[in-house]
Amino acid sequence: MTMNTPALVYWTSVESPVGPLLLTADPDGTLTSLSVPGQKGGRTVQDGWLQDPGPFRAAEEQLAAYFAAELKEFRLPLRARGTEFRERVWDALDAVPYGATTTYGEIAARIGASRPAVRAVGGAIGANPLLILRPCHRVIGADGSLTGYAGGIERKTRLLALEGVLPMPPS
User: Would you please indicate which residues are annotated as catalytic (active-site) residues?
Assistant: 136
**Dihedral sign (CA 24, 21, 98, 145):** positive
Which one, of 162, 168, 135, 155, lies nearest residue 36 by Cα?
155
**Distance (Å, rounded) from C-alpha 27 to C-alpha 61?**
20
- DSSP, collapsed to helix, strand or coil, labels residue 50 as strand
Please answer whether residues 75 and 62 qualify as being in contact, where contact means their C-beta atoms are separated by less than 8 angstroms. Answer: yes
The 3-state DSSP composition of the chain as helix, strand, coil percent (nearest 5) reads 35, 15, 55
